[in-house]
Structure 1
Amino acid sequence: MAHDKLLNLISTHIGFNDEDVRLMKQLFEPVKHKKNDFLEFENKIPVNLYFVNSGFVRVFHYQNGNEITSHINCPPGFITSFNSFLHQKTSKDSVKCVTDCDLLKINRKNLDILYQKSPNWDVFSKVIYEKSLLYNEQRTQEMITCSADERYHNLMKNHPEMIQNVPLQYIASYLGIEPQSLSRIRKKIAAIS
């Protein structure tokens, strides 16, 4: 049951055999975390990669004393401080639950075991990696070329559940907008509606 959403995501991309499923269930541990729980800490090596079954998680760092949210996960999907986790290096990011969360977690050692024992998992991870690269490229392009209004409208269109569940200060930071500017954008939208 805890692994169903991950299995569904996998099945949309590749076929997993019974041994792949057994290994995945054995190595991905179900965990629950409360709102505001830290999953990973800045200045530490990230321990786990997380698959978010439900809830919202954000990745953030500090810049000039301000929290800068670089990623907010929309379930289902993976999240951690990816570069630091993959290379087992100290991270500048923290990873924190925005809401209560139902997660699966896997550490680097077990992920490597999964890669070694499951060629299908290796194929699936490449698909996810490519999707992540595409997402990051589109996000960077949007941050450069779109106005604050356009960025918020795109988020409303593509991830309305984020707007309903994530506090506005995190959304503003994620979009590269001052909270006051986001409030003005929301008021303008409400007046039109």
Structure 2
Amino acid sequence: MFHNIKAYYYRMMPHLTQADWQVLEERLTIKTYKKGDCIVKQGEVCNYVYFINVGFLRFYKLIDGKDISTGFIGASEYVSSYDSFLKRQPAFENLEVLEDAELHCLSYDDMQFLYKHYPVYQMFGRVIAEQLFIWIVDRSNELLLLTPEQRYENIIKNEPELLQRVPQYMLASYIGVTPEHLSRIRKKMMTKSIDIYQ
């Protein structure tokens, strides 16, 4: 039942003991969601961190009525609206299920209990925070320094699964363009590829 998340923890912290794992397992709950479900809603406080056992999710914001995708997360990863979860304030984003999902859920109170009584989980929390910080910096630099064409090239190179799993309008907002602009980028790149092989 908890094979994937257990493997994840032991990969991150090989020194984790069975007793340490057991106390975490006792606090995990399992929830299933259908495609289209909204796990975290903009304006509500996020009370859980989620490990994605099965499924595919995306973050998006509604800004002046526009749906702006800000991230995509697949299986064997942790996800949450972290600022809302940690500050106990309303979330600025939505977390939506793009493919039917099974999530392992840990509440805010249970996480605080683990931090207080089990130092190994403080270490784990720090590692996750560091990874999240690196992702935010990389994403910010990408939006500030790269052209839309370069962002799309990065998706092809680093996240090619998004091309099959994410609708074009979501991909377009993720790289900061309209769907029509994304279509032009794709056509331009296809033309380049044809020219190279002629």
TM-score computed with the length of structure 1 as normaliser: 0.91
**Count of residues in correspondence between the two structures:** 192
Check 1:182–1:159 CA distance in 2 against 1; reply closer, same or farther (3 A cut).
same
Question: 1:30, CA displacement in angstroms?
Answer: 1.8
- Give the aligned residue type for 2:32: K
Question: 1:28, CA displacement in angstroms?
Answer: 1.8
Cα deviation per residue 1:42-66 (whole Å; 9 max; x = unaligned)?
2211122111122211122211110
1:117 maps to 117
Higher-Rg member (1/2): 2
2:128 maps to 128
- Give the aligned residue type for 1:144: L
TM-score computed with the length of structure 2 as normaliser: 0.89
Which stretch shifts more, 135-144 or 45-54?
A: 45-54
SS of aligned partner of 1:61: strand
| 1:95 aligns to 2:95 (yes or no) | yes
Moved over 4 A (4+): none
SS of aligned partner of 1:76: coil
1:143 maps to 143
Q: Give the Cα separation in 1 of the matches to 2:74 and 2:144.
A: 22
2:179 maps to 179
Unpaired segments of 5 or more residues in structure 2? none
- Give the aligned residue type for 1:10: Y
1:106 maps to 106
Cα deviation per residue 1:65-85 (whole Å; 9 max; x = unaligned)?
101122221332122211011
Give the number of the structure with larger relative contact order, counting CA–CA contacts within 8 Å between residues 6 or more apart: 1
Q: Give the Cα separation in 1 of the matches to 2:76 and 2:125.
A: 15
What fraction of aligned residue pairs are identical, expressed as a percent?
Answer: 26
Q: Give the Cα separation in 2 of the matches to 1:72 and 1:167.
A: 12
Q: Give the Cα separation in 2 of the matches to 1:22 and 1:162.
A: 35
- Give the aligned residue type for 2:6: L
- Give the aligned residue type for 1:181: H
Unpaired segments of 5 or more residues in structure 1? none
Q: Give the Cα separation in 1 of the matches to 2:107 and 2:163.
A: 30
